[in-house]
Structure 1
């Protein structure tokens, strides 16, 4: 038995009473740590300027100590070598003979060797990062981007399993369990004795990081209704995520040691424990499990908080199934069972992948832009606020397909324009990068509720988990898109921009959900637009 009239049956609560205000605020607050923990590798894993360490106990003069540091590049553009030095045995021999490195010897002809004694790091920006802690440079420089990818692999795994767990055991228990996982393992991570242990813990943190975000998002979508649901799903969760994102560069500026920064970012997680007694389970999910009395008990408590009178029986047509089992169950195979839902899922996976590549590539690239990393990161976070406001205004009035298509295409076109900006116009380049970040933030904010509106209650969290999994594949590959810039400066932006313009066109094929209630069963889902051979488009229900 289905319950497509849920919104009508619960209309007595109103849209914005005390109950909705509490749920709205607390769920948004629960998302804030995701903002600063999800992008913390911008600072934790940044690579300071470095060069080969010359042992302090080496018996050479100050002139020869300075000359032992090798230089790369030509005479007009020489730079201190990051990964090699002049052979110290030869340097010591020359020093003992009393030769002058600037007069008696051509230093550039002295053979080189690797940094056998480690590296000296510039401490003007950081006291330490994981790169300087475990020397993730030169032959081990591949470990730094791999660390970020391992985190996003954890996020990918969390996207898959958390959706199924949430649909099976409930939104609330998964929300708090994964918040506990994220907080506890981030705290343990502070005491990591090695890079390998750090990565293993970071993988687990990634599992919890996305899982609590998805659970909180779906819980709010199912409890709130009307325009409040739109505000929550676009402006609310996104704005509080951005607040956490803004806290990150501010905290990193004052805490230059990676362990102290990570410890400070962990502490807020412990303040969320009392929220267990204030955030309820989703009544929609309880109904989908046949737990009608529990759902009605939550709604009656909400009515009391809102000072309204609840009906004696809220769901009379469901009372007979209270003790007879679930109303209807779904699993991951239902996402590909019919042609319609299969097309919707594939289209959403593609668009989530491309917007994630764009969003995370621009976010993680702030350390490579001209200027201060702290200002660039803060600017990248601040620009999300007007983007979220725009997304909310668009979501209120525009068709979902148009919202998605316009933001995806705008972000892609802006990145394609970067190819034509000269290198000396760094301020214009940064402005366009931030405008691209603006568009991708708006697209991400719209993609979450637009996707959630297309799936039924029993499958919604699992479906968003699959979409999020596609998004995490995008975030895993984002650093490697940026790596292509070492071959050709504009290549990452051309590829990312082209992909997002293409996804903007694909969005026009998605079903339109504006003005329709949230579906409670697969049979209530809207259908994709498909073009027939007669060259006209039609909608069909499958």
Structure 2
């Protein structure tokens, strides 16, 4: 009898963790599968098409000065160029007809800038924003500035929207992202000829892309079993890559930027058909003390998973909240301990370097020789194997080792690209660039996974938002780097890529291993996260880390 009383007292003292709660409502049931398909895979697919359609719309077709008179002759275009267009050295160090000058006299003694406008090669593009508005030559910088303003929008939006995600919730960010992108892209159709307003919309349309992407990823990870985190991330990354690949084929077929905007943007509204599956993260609601709202969301999950909730389920949620300590939320939580602050800085460096590399590679696709749509498609397809290898490698070899190897392989590939870039071997150059893209994307896959696992629940959206905020600021220079490559020397972007992946690879080795470890729920958990791990022990992906002992007034949720 005495032993039974002690056992009952222990059960009373025992308080559920959020993992226990997820087990009750189902952490790998029909609800999770539907959420992953709709708001991780499909949402990312559509989001990537909207995000990158502006890149296709601002493509710069091959162009040359229009010189009147050819219509009165029977000369081919090539022969007419020889008579009217001077030859210059391009960024690959090869002789080519000038894009911005023509001869001002018949004896070819002097040249002048284009006086009668430009003609555009329509082999690949029927119309782009650039060809419609003559954003070439001295106005080609408009294209670069458009991308810079878009990055500035991400810079401002990631911190603001990231903080809002921890204040107003993940679901709010997802809804706002969809509506904002659709509205801004539609407005761009009507004001593309007005450079000032186009720049304003470039800023506004980019403010929520990063946080919108991470919001659905965060919900997916917070409502599923720890063993499914790689699956959630892979689904979202596969959706993103397929969206980019599909976008290239759409533009290849229709060849008009305005039709591309409509076809790739409007389908985003269809996501609201499945709005019942877009729940607010109950883990976030618990961290904010919104117990009854968390109960409503958890009951919806349980109903779809065909799980019966115990009669005392709501009481157990309140018990968790009653013993939960008051936590610092938002940016203050990220500096509440040295370990969390250090991890935030390291994640920021890794994210900044690899995202800048990816931005350089994607902006530079137009400078590679060949079919631009096929090149864009291959750059997207280079990401797909990452979702398979990234999931397997990170699971069996841990996050740190895979991330370091990915960065180093990207550095080696970039070095080879620099060596062969100016040779007239477009297929070899493209193949090497694809290797750089693959390994860089593998690195960012691991970094995204680490960010979701290192930041505590009460600051997960804010922490990732801060990292992306700084990364977006760094990425603002990516259009200028590719502009240097297209204007001066095609090797410049890859020199920068090489240096960046070296910095990112070294920084990432100082992050803790997070594979198969419970997510830190509070800043107290994050304070000791990875404390026991040895720097040189790359292959030991198991950590002895356990959440802090539950004492009176202290408990995770």
TM range (shorter): 0.7 to 0.9
- 1: distance between equivalents of 2:438 and 2:431? 10
**Cα distance, 1:119–1:214 mapped onto 2, change above 3 Å:** same
CA shift, 1:477, in A, is: 2.1
- 2: distance between equivalents of 1:120 and 1:200? 28
1:113 corresponds to: 112
- Checking the alignment, whether the CA contact within 8 Å between 1:528 and 1:539 is kept in structure 2 is no
For residues 121-160 of structure 1, the aligned pairs below 5 Å read 121-160=120-159
Q: Which of 164-173 and 251-260 deviates more? A: 251-260
**Cα distance, 1:201–1:73 mapped onto 2, change above 3 Å:** closer
- 2: distance between equivalents of 1:374 and 1:489? 20
CA shift, 1:224, in A, is: 1.6
Unaligned stretches of 5+ in structure 2?
Answer: 1-14, 536-542, 549-557
Q: Which of 204-213 and 239-248 deviates more? A: 204-213
SS in 2 for 1:46: coil
1:104 corresponds to: none
- Checking the alignment, whether the CA contact within 8 Å between 1:69 and 1:81 is kept in structure 2 is no
1:367 corresponds to: 366
- Checking the alignment, whether the CA contact within 8 Å between 2:226 and 2:518 is kept in structure 1 is no
2:500 corresponds to: 499
- Checking the alignment, whether the CA contact within 8 Å between 1:165 and 1:174 is kept in structure 2 is yes
2:31 corresponds to: 19
1:7 aligns with 2:19: yes
- 1: distance between equivalents of 2:318 and 2:465? 31
- 2: distance between equivalents of 1:445 and 1:78? 41
**Superposed CA offset, 1:282-312 (max 9, x none):** 0001111211122122222222222222222
2:98 corresponds to: 81
2:469 corresponds to: 469
- Checking the alignment, whether the CA contact within 8 Å between 1:416 and 1:498 is kept in structure 2 is no
For residues 446-465 of structure 1, the aligned pairs below 5 Å read 446-465=446-465
- Checking the alignment, whether the CA contact within 8 Å between 2:357 and 2:500 is kept in structure 1 is no
- Checking the alignment, whether the CA contact within 8 Å between 2:358 and 2:440 is kept in structure 1 is yes
Unaligned stretches of 5+ in structure 1?
Answer: 92-100, 102-106, 533-537
Length-normalised TM-score, structure 1? 0.87
CA shift, 1:158, in A, is: 1.7
For residues 408-423 of structure 1, the aligned pairs below 5 Å read 408-421=407-420, 423=423
CA shift, 1:78, in A, is: 6.1
- Checking the alignment, whether the CA contact within 8 Å between 1:10 and 1:314 is kept in structure 2 is no
2:335 corresponds to: 336
**Superposed CA offset, 1:102-127 (max 9, x none):** xxxxx212x43322332122222212
**Cα distance, 1:326–1:291 mapped onto 2, change above 3 Å:** farther
- 1: distance between equivalents of 2:377 and 2:396? 30
**Cα distance, 1:256–1:489 mapped onto 2, change above 3 Å:** closer
- 1: distance between equivalents of 2:34 and 2:534? 45
**Cα distance, 1:13–1:119 mapped onto 2, change above 3 Å:** same
